[in-house]
Amino acid sequence: MYNFKYDIGTKVYFGKDQIEQLPASVKEYGKKVLLCYGGGSIKRNGIYDTITGLFKENGIEWVELSGIEPNPRHTTVNRGAAICRENDVDVVVAIGGGSTIDCAKAVAFAKFYDGDAWDIVTRKAKPTGFLPVIAVLTLSATGSEMDTFGVISNMDTNDKLGFGFPESRPVVAIMDPQYTFSVSKYQTASGSADIMSHTLETYFTPVKDAFLQDRFMEGILKTVIKYAPVALEEPENYEARANLMWASSWAINDMVGYGKKCPWTVHPMEHELSAYFDITHGVGLAILTPHWMEYVLSEDTVDKFVEYAVNVWNIPAGEDKFETAHKGIEATRRFFFDTLGIPSRLRDVGITEDKLEVMANKLNLTNVYVPLTSEDVLKIYKASF
């Protein structure tokens, strides 16, 4: 196990009606709020009225950044930063899924930078300040509510890039599972695949002796396997939504990665798909993951795949290690495509074959679990097509 520093500073209010904690939380960090949200789901399900009602009752002033896109754009970040500067905003409240929270995190540093926020995402410039971010989660998926990362897209250059700063971790996260009752089947399925992918990216690393972390991760995977189908059948099942919500945070809030961190593989491959075709993140991950698993399965990795098959999918360990490993991969495939109903091929989500090589050429994945050249990535894309 590698050395690590435990530092997860987000204060979490989890459960029914925890939104009541929002006014006091805001007042702890500032006076003027930038309220960030997406395309209108929070207006349709009443969360917007609840929150603005609480602001009015508590004398909290706010301005708004609305229309944050799924796969948020750098131009929207720049728009938010300008609003912050014009209105002396001192705290950012994001209500939504990963896209809204990621955009809010980028606005939080872009406020202090006069140029294009994209410069900071591309590491051309360094952030010089950060506003505190409070996350009100409405979709269980990315874990952005409790992690240091954000992902921003530049559709002019077809780039989708991540950033990660310790100061970007939300200071407060309010997680009411009831807020996810209105999430569609498609987004519930996609979010569940994303939670599993975050876990798998950390489960499959070269570190072999992080026994505790691996058991935590098997618990997260089993939680999604148990509750995602329930949430699909019964969108208002509180227990299912609550377990998915807490799993989303723990898959990526650093805890399971401490001591066994290594750069990820499937996420960079998916981010290229989103950057060119604006697809739903978790759907792209679900399509690629089983093919990636098959591609990296070898004499070196087979034992880990057997562990995965046995501990996560309850597949009996047979005499032939590869057969057991294949059964684990097949169970993953069946779960994503049959149980969750996610489309199984890239062509089904609007990806065209002519771009596979262009996307693959942007990737050379070194230092990952099993290093992959552009040619390897192209083979995985083709198998997934």
Which residues make up the interface to ligand NZQ (CB under 6 A)? 38-42, 45, 70-71, 96-100, 102, 138-139, 141-144, 147, 149-151, 179-180, 182-183, 187, 191, 194, 252, 267, 281-282
For ligand NZQ, the closer CB: 177 or 309 = 177
Residues near Zn ion (CB under 5 A), total: 1
* 340's tokens: 């969750």
Residue 194 as a binder of Zn ion (CB under 5 A): the answer is: yes
Tokens 């904690």 belong to residue: 21
Smallest gap from residue 287 Cβ to Zn ion (A): 13
Among ligand NZQ, Zn ion, none, partner that 80 touches (CB below 5 to 8 angstroms by kind)? none
Farthest-apart Cα atoms in the chain, separation: 68
Which structure tokens are listed for 31? 């006076």
Handedness of CA 85, 8, 249, 52 (dihedral sign): negative
* CB closer to ligand NZQ out of 80 and 98: 98
Q: Which stretch binds Zn ion (CB under 5 A): 47-55, 99-107, 187-195, 208-216?
A: 187-195
| Closest distance of CB 102 from Zn ion, Å | 11
Contact predicate 77/83, CB 8 Å: no
- Cα separation of 76 and 160, whole Å? 14
- In order of 207, 209, 342, 352, 371, the CA distances from 358 in angstroms are 32, 38, 25, 11, 19
Question: In this chain, which residue has its C-beta nearest to Zn ion?
Answer: 194
Q: Pick the piece of the chain touching Zn ion (CB under 5 A) from 45-53, 186-194, 212-220, 325-333.
A: 186-194
Cβ nearer to ligand NZQ, comparing 268 with 310: 268
Asked whether 77 and 106 are in contact (CB, 8 A), the reply is yes
We find the least distance from the C-beta atom of residue 208 to ligand NZQ, in angstroms, to be 25
Question: Which residue's beta carbon is nearest to the bound ligand NZQ?
Answer: 38
Cβ at position 258, least distance to ligand NZQ in Å: 16
Q: Which is nearer to Zn ion, 50 or 249 (CB)?
A: 249
**Residues in contact with 287: Cβ distance below 8 Å, sequence separation at least 6, in sequence order:** 336, 342, 343, 344, 345, 346, 349, 384
Q: Which is nearer to Zn ion, 194 or 376 (CB)?
A: 194
Task: Give least dist CB 281 to Zn ion, A.
Answer: 6
In the chain, the amino acid numbered 291 is H
Cβ distance to ligand NZQ smaller for residue 66 or 317: 66
Q: Of ligand NZQ, Zn ion, none, which one does residue 315 interact with (CB within 5 to 8 Å by kind)? A: none
Nearest-approach distance from CB 46 to ligand NZQ, in angstroms: 10
- Minimum distance from CB of 371 to ligand NZQ (Å)? 21
**Minimum Å distance from CB 255 to ligand NZQ?**
14
State which H helix or E strand residue 216 sits in.
helix 211-233
Residue showing tokens 């003027």: 32
Distance (Å, whole) CA 226 – CA 253: 21
* DSSP code at position 69: P
Nearer to ligand NZQ, 186 or 337 (CB): 186
Long-range contacts (CB closer than 8 Å, 24 or more residues apart) made by 326-332 = 326/294, 326/297, 329/290, 329/293, 329/294, 329/297, 329/305, 330/290, 332/289, 332/290, 332/293
CB-wise, 132 or 290, nearer to Zn ion? 290
Asked whether the beta carbons of 233 and 194 are under 8 A apart, the reply is: no
